[in-house]
């Protein structure tokens, strides 16, 4: 059986080829993203394997169905880029990897907090230029600070554990309180209260109609002056222009993002030889108190191994039994 991979990077080839021995699928790896113009490349495939920035809308799904594609396999947890209703209407199964390594993303969020706070990235560059001054590198103790966690699924829960270990007071918001998180000493509060009380706010929510632009000019106005905002979840959770205004006014003291709403035009590409046309991210890059990484949170050996194994197991199970574990099923 053939699987066509879209938005392929070298590490995708490495890990999927490494773990294909138990399945013996035929792979076709494409650098191109899946969209209306590239969907024809999936011809003669039983499944397509896609990532966060592939566009799997109704038009794409109908084309896939016409070509006989039976499975859309997401090698990620989020599925906001897939038209699930269209997939169901066209009898195409959609599967995902719901928990490849929650610790990978949670630890990356903590790394961003520590980097922004203690300015280790700036210190590194200074010392390489033989500048051993500490001026401008002043940080603060994480111990005793209030950290707000928005979304306590697998990643948010792992993040809570780490921040409790730092000696932080951790507040959380989610539609359903998690007993394991509460047992850590984390207090659940309404979103507005979490935002208003936190020195650091970390987003770990899925992107949907209710969470789109949940961080906006109104919610930023509720934050403590000088608050730190971290987003390692989905770019669409944040109104980036409102964040820029918050940084300019000083309301936001630090911002760390591993995701960006328009990232499909930028991330996973080497654009060092050209001019970035996105004025919004160019403005963000210009702030000294902003840290941007290019959707790097998932990028660990353990996570990539789990992504490959679970994705291939999902496809194999659907083809053989027309079923997979409920947690891995999207539609």
Q: Which residues contact 103 (CB under 8 A, 6 or more apart)?
A: 158, 302
Residue 204 annotated as catalytic: no
pLDDT in tens, the chain (331 residues): 999 999 999 999 999 999 999 999 999 999 999 999 999 999 999 999 999 889 999 999 999 999 999 999 999 988 889 999 999 999 999 999 988 889 999 999 999 999 999 999 999 999 999 999 999 999 999 999 999 999 999 999 999 999 999 999 999 999 999 999 999 999 999 999 999 999 999 999 999 999 999 999 999 999 999 999 999 999 999 999 999 999 999 999 999 999 999 998 899 999 999 999 999 999 999 999 999 999 999 999 999 999 999 999 999 999 998 888 777 777 6
- In the sheet with 47-50, reading across from the earlier edge strand, the strands are 26-29, 2-5, 47-50, 71-74, 93-95
- Do the Cβ atoms of 326 and 92 come closer than 8 Å? no
Catalytic residue among 75, 96, 204, 263: 263
Q: Is 128 a catalytic residue?
A: no
Is 62 a residue of the active site?
A: no
What domains lie within the chain, and their CATH numbers?
Answer: 2-100+300-328 (3.40.50.720), 102-292 (3.40.50.720)
Write the pLDDT tens digit of every residue in 211-226: 999 999 999 999 999 9
- CB within 8 A of 303, min separation 6: which ones? 100, 101, 104
Measured at the alpha carbon of residue 298, what is the angle toward residues 258 and 235, in degrees to the nearest 5?
Answer: 30
Residues of 3-14 as b/e, b for ≥16 C-beta within 10 angstroms? Answer: bbbbbbeeebee
pTM: 0.91
| Phi, psi (deg, nearest 5) at residue 71 | -140, 135
From 96, 157, 234, 261, the catalytic residue = 234
Which entry of 96, 108, 157, 295 is annotated as an active-site residue? Answer: 295
Alpha helix ranges (H) inside 31-119: 58-66, 84-89, 102-118
Place of tokens 């947890």: 77
pLDDT digit string (tens) for 14-25?
Answer: 999 999 999 999
């Amino acid at each position: 059986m053939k699987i066509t991979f879209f938005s392929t990077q070298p590490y995708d080839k490495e890990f999927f080829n490494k773990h294909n021995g138990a399945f013996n699928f035929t792979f076709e790896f494409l650098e191109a993203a899946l969209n209306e113009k590239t969907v024809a490349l999936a011809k003669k495939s039983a499944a397509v394997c896609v990532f966060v920035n592939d566009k799997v809308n109704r038009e794409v799904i109908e084309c896939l169905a016409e070509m006989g594609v039976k499975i859309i396999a997401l090698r990620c947890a989020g599925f906001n880029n897939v038209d699930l209703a269209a997939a169901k209407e066209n009898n195409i199964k959609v599967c995902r990897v719901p928990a490849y390594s929650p610790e990978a993303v949670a630890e990356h969020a903590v790394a961003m907090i520590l980097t922004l706070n203690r300015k280790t990235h700036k210190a590194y560059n200074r010392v390489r230029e033989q500048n051993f001054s500490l001026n401008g590198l002043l940080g603060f103790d994480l111990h005793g600070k209030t950290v707000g966690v928005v979304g306590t699924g697998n990643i948010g829960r792992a993040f809570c554990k780490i921040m409790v270990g730092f000696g932080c007071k951790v507040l959380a918001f989610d539609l359903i309180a998690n007993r394991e998180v509460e047992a850590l000493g984390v207090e659940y509060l309404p979103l507005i209260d979490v935002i208003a009380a936190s020195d650091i706010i970390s987003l770990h929510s899925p992107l949907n109609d209710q969470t789109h632009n949940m961080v906006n000019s109104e919610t930023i106005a509720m934050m403590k002056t000088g608050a730190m905002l971290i987003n390692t979840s989905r770019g669409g959770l944040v109104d980036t222009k409102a964040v820029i205004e918050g940084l300019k006014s000083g309301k936001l003291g630090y911002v760390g993002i591993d995701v960006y709403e328009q990232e499909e035009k930028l991330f996973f590409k080497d654009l060092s030889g050209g001019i970035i046309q996105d004025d919004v991210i160019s403005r963000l890059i210009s702030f000294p108190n902003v840290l941007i990484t290019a959707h790097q949170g998932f990028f660990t050996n353990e996570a990539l191994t789990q992504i490959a194994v679970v994705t291939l197991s999902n496809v194999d199970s659907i083809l053989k039994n027309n079923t997979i574990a409920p947690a891995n099923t999207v539609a």
